[in-house]
Amino acid sequence: MAGGLRFVALAVGSLALQVTLGLHLRAVMAGEMAPWGHVGNLRRAHSHLGYYGILFPLAWWAWSRASRPAPGPRAMVLYATATLAGTLGFADAGYSGVAIAASTVVLGVWLTGAWGLRGTLRGILSRHHHS
């Protein structure tokens, strides 16, 4: 997927799943239907998906638009797979082995992205400190 479109594609797909989970949780809380699983686990899946699948990919999209380092295509395939596995893991069993392993992969991609920005952040902080 060309340029930053991979980030937007993950965010849009995640948003669709996020809205679906949110609507289901609202229906459950309104007493309109039985939950697909444990409500606490579904809530965890919903909140983690917001960070993993929407907020960070959109931040990376913005970084790529500003010519800053962002995860490449291979890293994004790994990240998207971990995001889906983590979401399903949280929904199925909360903080289970699957969710923890997927979250560890997500963290690895986040830290790699942050490492790529270290010079940029140093420049911003030194300009601010000298002001």
Which pLDDT band holds residue 124 (cuts at 50, 70, 90)? low
Residues 60-118 have pLDDT tens digits of 999 999 888 899 999 999 999 999 999 999 999 999 999 999 999 999 999 998 888 88
79's tokens? 């990240």
- Range name among 14-18, 55-59, 121-125 with the lowest pLDDT average: 121-125
What does residue 45 show for φ and ψ, rounded to 5 degrees? Answer: -60, -45
Q: Check if the beta carbon of residue 60 is closer than 8 Å to that of residue 113.
A: yes
Residues 39-61 have pLDDT tens digits of 999 999 999 999 999 999 999 99
- Residue 38 neighbours by CB distance under 10 Å: 13
pLDDT of residue 113: 87
Q: Is the pTM of this model over 0.85?
A: yes
Q: 32 to each of 19, 24, 36, 107, how far by Cα in Å?
A: 17, 9, 12, 37
pLDDT of residue 4: 87
AA letter at 54: I
d(CA 112, CA 128): 24
